[in-house]
Amino acid sequence: MSRSAIIHISDTEFGEFDRVQSSSRQDGYALCVERFAEDVSAILAQEQVPSDRVGLVVTGDIAYYGAREEYETALRVVNSMTDRLHIGRERIAIVPGNHDVNWPACKEAFDASGKSNHKDAESLAEKHLHFSRFFRELLGKEFPGPGSAFAFPGFLPMGFALVGIDSTLPCTFDETDNYGRVLDSTAAKAGVLLRGLKESAETGIDDATIGIVALHHCATPQADRHADDNSYLHEAEDARSFLTEAGFELFICGHEHRQGSSGDLRTGGKVLTTGSFGLGIGKLVERYEGDQRIPTNRYQILLLKDDAVNMECVLRRLEPPGNASSVWGPDKEQGPERFIFMPRLQPFSAAGEPEVRFVIGTPAAFDRKERTFAVEVALEGAKDSLERIRKVTYSASAGTKRESTNARERFRTQLEMSDSTDRVLGVELTMRDGPPIRREVQLPPLPS
């Protein structure tokens, strides 16, 4: 059972190449609305999620060219989706993507400014001319403008403090400006908004609420290795570090047209990306079967479990791809179709003990045959707290045991966990100035 759910779609890219247009309109509309709503409803019913605890997050590239008529289609489709799923506008969150920049409007405003460097067009409000109208008509409030951060308080009763960030500030009318960036000032504003949400007197929400940031460009650790690539968020590590220090625990993104999951113990934060929801045949290429290019549409549902600690990600895709009779089903192509993760750092210390916390990384190296997976674990904390610890001994239910004595590495290790009912991580701290401290942590279930 789950207490609340976020439906995450991205890169609908309504326009010339979307499924509503490139299929017959009837079939395309069915794929995007009717069969989608049926698929979502079946999962939510199975998880027994109340209808008033379901939200929709769209992480950018709503349109393909950022044109007015594309957003008219988008408004019709998204309103139909949310009506079918009984999602009110207060539980809808949207951020722009690079395709939501209208190049002609941006160029016209730039020419009128008399500037000569195209980067001076970054902050022009006109570049989001039609997206801003769509944002206002769908959500009933104004889009704050390029490079902004903005809160979605309607997600608070669901257990989420959700803040959107416009990562498209570098995007202009120049075709080389498709990468993303989050300014330090934007990250700082997002942190202020997060604290405001968590301290909201009207809702009575406290630190148990999970801090989520939604943005278009991928904030994954992979982005750090492609700093100059047009497809990534530039200075992603700095953005993740700044935002996790501000209290965000989960990043949800789009842009890359693929499902993805990653965690970074060094900078913190769990990052989830989803594939393109709406692109049609001829534009979306996810894989090859022989010489045939196969487009595959995807979305995901994030479920907050009843313990309010674990979350489950459910991955879905259209099968068979590129077919008007396609239906939504489990996405097993890039890993398990469902997986449990812990978005927040796990408390470790009691009163009078060193102030340290568990950091549990993303399960990796899952072996379906042997039913084992590797999990990276670490302790983190203030320097004086870590210096009180002489050694950490980790033990897993599979019988593996590791010791770590290097505080500089934050007592990090990797353990093989088995598919047993008792997935318990045991931790023993050997102290320099007192008796040992022992704890046990229940790890999430293995992927199905």
Whether 194 contacts 163, CB under 8 Å:
yes
Last residue of a domain, one of 307, 341, 375: 341
Amino acid of residue 368: R
- Which is higher by pLDDT, 352 or 69? 69
Task: Note whether 113 and 248 are same-domain residues.
Answer: yes
Mean pLDDT score of the chain: 79
Task: Note whether 193 and 252 are same-domain residues.
Answer: yes
> Distance between CA atoms of 269 and 56, rounded to whole angstroms?
21
Residue 368 has pLDDT above 60, yes or no: no
Whether 125 contacts 39, CB under 8 Å:
no
Task: Note whether 72 and 39 are same-domain residues.
Answer: yes
> Distance between CA atoms of 361 and 345, rounded to whole angstroms?
10
Domain count, the chain: 2
Task: Note whether 322 and 387 are same-domain residues.
Answer: no
Whether 341 contacts 310, CB under 8 Å:
yes
> How do beta strands 54-59 and 327-330 pair?
unpaired
Task: Note whether 259 and 387 are same-domain residues.
Answer: no
Ranges of H-type helices in 199-324: 221-224, 236-245
Q: Flag whether 409 is in a domain.
A: yes
pLDDT, tens digit, 9 for 90 and up, residues 70-117: 999 899 999 999 999 999 999 999 999 999 999 999 999 889 988 878
**pLDDT (0 to 100) of residue 365:** 43
Residues across the chain = 448
Last residue of a domain, one of 303, 320, 341: 341
> How do beta strands 298-305 and 311-319 pair?
antiparallel
Q: Flag whether 31 is in a domain.
A: yes
Last residue of a domain, one of 341, 356, 383: 341
Task: Note whether 158 and 226 are same-domain residues.
Answer: yes
Task: Note whether 354 and 328 are same-domain residues.
Answer: no
Task: Note whether 116 and 258 are same-domain residues.
Answer: yes
Task: Note whether 252 and 391 are same-domain residues.
Answer: no
**pLDDT (0 to 100) of residue 66:** 95
Whether 95 contacts 250, CB under 8 Å:
no
Amino acid of residue 161: A
pLDDT, tens digit, 9 for 90 and up, residues 211-269: 999 999 988 756 555 555 666 788 888 888 889 888 888 999 999 887 877 665 445 56
> Distance between CA atoms of 348 and 341, rounded to whole angstroms?
18
Q: Shortest CA distance to 210 belongs to which of 159, 154, 272, 265? A: 159
SS3 144: coil
Give the structural domain span for 9. Answer: 2-341
Residue 147 has pLDDT above 50, yes or no: yes
**pLDDT (0 to 100) of residue 266:** 47
Q: Flag whether 448 is in a domain.
A: no
Task: Note whether 192 and 238 are same-domain residues.
Answer: yes
SS3 229: coil
